[in-house]
Chain A
């Protein structure tokens, strides 16, 4: 491990914004290497380290994948579920963090419904914070795993045209991906109804399309976002059937993208809303399963990177 260099000088992983190109590059390469090793990637890097998974929102894949990653690095891991903790009794985030901090964890993996929660916490604890999704802000490990999957397909990120389609307004996945992909030299297009496109997003270096067909044109990758149920009942969009007929990706409108274009989805999917069921299951086009698989490898790489930073910076 000592000959690895991530060019990263922070003990927290809060977001992709501001992350250097060579840092991203090293995480992706390391994740690809680990992914190829599959079961043989177990190590003892985090032996005697305590990792706490603190999730204020429901999660299957992210939580499980962090847990598997930490365990394969021989860490002790503790999962705290919000429904059965003191948070339900009205404890503030800071108090919960202080309590956990007193147990001397080395890593705290946080998912929280409010943007900025991870950054706030990082100022009040001694352990490393990994942002596993904060509100509508960032979900850095998701963007990293998405990029690693694309690279694993033998596709170069530089010059690639990627369309991110759906609820951009409320999506942390979209924001982290935009930061990462534009840093790596990809061309990013966002597609969605005007009610789901946040103000001035063009300033983040992307092109905006309200028309699916023109947005898809000559895309190499289509990244489909999940549309939450409560946004499809006449609030931000009128209905599921209208959303599907204007923004649902199926094998037909996919033809407008480049030949051999691939489809990604961070999950969980709404079949028949943002993605046609048949397309979701077509493993020649859909990278959904590969995304989940890569999730573990990327998280091992991230824990490794932070462990190195801790060794270096906290001496």
Chain B
């Protein structure tokens, strides 16, 4: 088997809290050896030399992407999605079941993961629909979905809202030891709204949803999680009150985790000022107070992971009045740089930032990934943190170009990406 040697490379592993230069030897599968710089010598090994500033981290794990394939191939397809992920340093990602048809049947899981596997790029994990058709009425075949390989259950961009259904899903999922993933929202409160309720939404005349909506559903769920002793994960948490509820649950010892996404620690609702639909997201952008609290919660461990919340929307879906435009932003190719920006602005130590996109998400899904140690799969991402670039949706690897970071300067680029020791970017 072909062996590759990264010579004298700076390894940053947030899980092991390591930041030091080593020689790293891999084969086309796993990590073979980690030792002192220049200690491994063999002319047969393929040698990878990198600049002094660059470093290697465990392959990035993304907990939340949307695949438009099958169903909306004019918006994005599986190939562009996987290529975009590889280019972003993402070696494993989990996609939502809101494809067309919905992934509520075991055969859908099998077909999508087989198709993804054939590209030999980023590993695509799949969440199963918690309810049939994501209709929040009847529980899907959660057991058969697990047997087909799903890693969790969710209603995707809709909450699991019916309390009896939620109780039953949480309870049933304990038998399968998989997390139930929630999009915390109250449909009656958020219906037809365009922004977070605030002075800004008032001035703009946008219909607002109160930010406590998120906490309202989380609080309800947490009672049910306690009752059923189940695993519960809240996705793209964006409010102070929501995070405070999760913090209390964690302190109570419940099996609760959460992630947030870059827009919620980089942007606030002032971005909406010129009705640019690129900033229409779900959940909507929040106040700066919420944003700061998200930032702080990344540091103190309330938030377990940063997910890209990659949501391609075609041009026509965004070229509409704000009220009618579809929410969502591409997120994969800005995931690393937006995370690194927290380090560059001294908000997070580098190990912590890396942890939030590697071992943090791995733990949420109980994956044996996210750390660089001997014997583990060689999922690796090589970074040049000094290179800067300007975000341009048009040049992203997607059939859509909707990014809420358009024209923003970013720092840090992906030099290469390795999945199971195979160079995928």
Which residues of A are at the interface with B, using a C-beta cutoff of 8 A? Answer: 193-195, 210-211, 233-239, 241-242, 245-246
B137, B141, B147, B174: the one within 8 Å of A238 (CB): B141
**Cβ contact within 8 Å between A242 and B168:** no
User: B143 contacts which chain A residues (CB < 8 A)?
Assistant: 238, 242, 245-246
Does the CB pair A238–B142 fall under 8 Å? yes
**A49 CB, min distance to chain B CBs, angstroms:** 47
Residues of A within 8 A of B147 (CB): 245
Question: Is B371 an interface residue when CB atoms closer than 8 A count as contact?
Answer: no
Q: Which residues of A sit under 8 angstroms from B140, Cβ to Cβ?
A: 234, 238
Q: Give A235 to B167 CA distance when docked, in angstroms.
A: 11
Whether the Cβ atoms of B137 and A193 lie closer than 8 Å is no
Give the residues in chain A near B168, CB-CB below 8 Å: 195, 235-236
B190 at the interface (CB under 8 A from A): no
| Minimum distance in angstroms from B172 CB to a CB of chain A | 5
Total A-B contacts with CB atoms under 8 angstroms apart: 47
Residues of chain A within 8 A of B410, CB atoms compared: none
B214 CB to nearest A CB, Å: 27
Chain B residues, Cβ within 8 Å of A233: 138
Known: A236-B168, A241-B144, A245-B144. A194 touches B139 (CB 8 A): no
A211 to B142, CA, bound (A): 15
B341 within 8 A of A: no
Majority DSSP secondary structure for residues of B touching A: helix
17 further A-B pairs in the complex, CB-CB below 8 A; given A194-B172, A195-B172, A211-B175: A194-B171, A194-B174, A194-B228, A210-B175, A233-B138, A234-B138, A234-B139, A234-B140, A235-B139, A238-B141, A238-B143, A238-B172, A239-B141, A241-B141, A242-B141, A242-B142, A246-B143
Report how far A239 CA is from B145 CA in the complex, Å: 12
Q: Closest Cβ of chain B: how far from A214's Cβ, in Å? A: 12
Residues of A within 8 A of B131 (CB): 234
Contacts of B144 in A (CB 8 A): 238-239, 241-242, 245
Query: CB-nearest residue of chain A relative to B175?
Result: A210
Complex: how many Å from CA A236 to CA B143? 13
Looking at B138, B140, B143, B174, which has the most chain A CB atoms within 10 Å of its CB?
B143
A245 to B147, CA, bound (A): 10
- Judge whether A234 and B228 touch: CB under 8 Å: no
Assess whether B172 is in contact with A234, with CB atoms less than 8 Å apart.
no
Task: Closest B residue to A233 by CB, please name it.
Answer: B138
Q: How many residues of B contact A (CB 8 A)?
A: 17
Say if the beta carbon of B132 comes within 8 Å of chain A: yes
- The closest CB in chain B to the CB of A192 belongs to B175
Taking the closest CB of chain B, its distance from the CB of A58, in whole angstroms, is 26
Q: What per-residue 1/0 map shows which CB atoms of B81-108 lie under 8 Å from chain A?
A: 0000000000000000000000000000
Determine if B132 and A234 form an interchain contact, defined as CB atoms under 8 angstroms apart. Answer: yes
CB distance from B106 to the nearest CB of A (A): 9
A234-B142 in contact (CB<8A): no
The residue that B172 contacts in the complex, of A193, A211, A245, with Cβ under 8 A, is A193
Most buried by B among A195, A236, A238, A246: A238
Q: Could you list some 30 contacts between A and B, CB below 8 A?
A: A193-B175, A194-B171, A194-B174, A195-B168, A195-B172, A211-B175, A233-B138, A234-B132, A234-B137, A234-B138, A234-B139, A234-B140, A235-B138, A235-B139, A235-B168, A236-B168, A237-B139, A238-B138, A238-B139, A238-B142, A238-B143, A239-B141, A239-B144, A241-B141, A242-B141, A242-B142, A242-B143, A242-B144, A246-B143, A246-B175
A210 surroundings in chain B (CB, below 8 A): 174-175
Residues of A within 8 A of B139 (CB): 234-235, 237-238
Cβ contact within 8 Å between B171 and A195 = yes
Query: Nearest 6 pairs between A and B by C-beta?
Result: A234-B138, A210-B175, A238-B141, A194-B171, A242-B141, A234-B139
Q: List, in ascending order, chain A residues with CB within 8 A of B172's CB.
A: 193-195, 237-238
Instruction: Name the residue in B131, B137, B142, B171 with the highest tally of chain A Cβ atoms < 10 Å from its Cβ.
Output: B171
Distance between Cα atoms of A237 and B165 in the complex (Å): 11
A-chain residues with CB within 8 Å of residue B137 when the two chains form the complex: 234
Complex: how many Å from CA A233 to CA B137? 10
**Of residues 125 to 178 in B, which have CB atoms within 8 Å of A's CB atoms?**
131-132, 137-144, 147, 168, 171-172, 174-175
Q: What are the residues of chain B within 8 A of A193 when measuring CB–CB?
A: 172, 175
| Minimum CB–CB distance for B1 against chain A, Å | 38
